[in-house]
Amino acid sequence: MGPLSGIRIIELAGIGPGPFACMLLADMGADIIRVDRADKVNAGVFDRPNLELMNRGRRSIGVDLKNPEGVELVLQLVEQADALIEGFRPGVTERMGVGPDVCLARNPRLVYGRMTGWGQDGPMAQAAGHDINYIALAGALAHFGRKGGKPTPPINLVGDFGGGGMFMAFGIACGILEAKTSGRGQVVDVAMVDGSAVLMSMMWGLKALGIWQDEAGVNLLDTGAPFYDTYETSDGKFVSIGSLEPQFYAELIRRIGWEGEELPFQMDPSGYETMREKFTALFKTKTRDEWDEILLATDACYAPVLTMTEARENEHIRARNTIVERNGMPQPAPAPRFSRTAPEIQRDAPWPGQHTDEALTDWGVDASAVAKLREGGAIA
């Protein structure tokens, strides 16, 4: 029922941002076949590969892409697909026999998504890397940290998932939409370094205006300002304050009982450390729950800092079903939400090769052909 219902996508199994992109697309209703390596069948990366949440929503087939018949099988599936997503280094799928030129020759309308860290070209294209490296080169990592401290990776949300997976899902959707108009497919080059740079667009604008500095921890949004920071409470927990606008800051000051006191002007940097010391001392006088009673759901721009476990039990999160449980496993619900074509988790994450026969049959491969492919070792 999701907005991408009827869209068919092939995923050449990888890790990180590619699976995340496919999870997003599957949540929106796309029919995705995940092509796992035949030697991964019954030998998952983890003891319980079916708990890898980013693999949810699609079916897995086990294919030996070193076997010519396995390659031909994937190309037959390509003929029926709207898109293909791969996450290998540049040139790898060409050597496997399923590169973009071959695939587009079989299906000129195909959108061929390529996920890499550095991109398909450039002096670093063939180098290994991870999220921390991509966001470092993109000029993002330098801005995560406190004044005088070293850069702190924001786990792998910015490079892998924001700059990579979400840009792949966006690129695939755009490519499919364009192909429906032009009748022609194309290659979508998704580089995590590019996407991470795009995520910094607002900061580039602020820098051009002279109100963002290269030094970390001295700007409005990177803990430089005392009214956009986290503070420890008396029970060793933390709260967040984001009272940027003057009316919200005034509401914060009123609710914490400082209205009428002689305080530094909110936007005067010379008073920042004074206010930070005052906030630090104040928030340590009450527990996090006590601060919730005073500030939560007000225009003071406040929220408790919750762990994943705590977030699941939060009243607002529960009211919106932001975290759902499927077969006993908590996980984020699909987002965004649609009023008519509601997205949903279509199925649990599969074991590698779990749906080989079922998925191939649904995509038009005859049962006798499936048996022959298995006999020849092309599928598992």
3-state secondary structure 95-106: HHCCCHHHHHHH
Residue bearing tokens 């061929």: 112
SS3 257: coil
Per the CB < 8 A criterion, the answer to whether 26 and 58 are in contact is yes
Q: Please report, for residues 94, 141, 329, 359, the alpha-carbon distance to residue 348 in angstroms, rounded to integers and kept in the order given.
A: 31, 34, 10, 15
CA distance 321 to 332: 9
Residue type, 3: P
- For the chain, how many residues are written? 380
Helical H segments across the chain, by residue range: 17-27, 68-78, 92-96, 100-106, 131-137, 166-182, 192-199, 201-208, 246-255, 272-283, 288-295, 308-313, 315-319, 356-362, 367-375
Q: How many Å apart are CA 9 and CA 26, to the nearest integer? A: 9
Residues annotated as catalytic (active site), given as ranges:
130, 160
CB-based burial of residue 97 (10 Å sphere; 0-12 exposed, 13-18 middle, 19+ buried)? middle
Strands 238-242 and 302-304: antiparallel
The DSSP output letter for 351 is P
Amino acid, single-letter form, for residue 377: G
Strand order in the sheet with 8-12: 59-63, 31-37, 8-12, 83-86, 111-116, 186-191
Handedness of CA 27, 33, 35, 40 (dihedral sign): positive
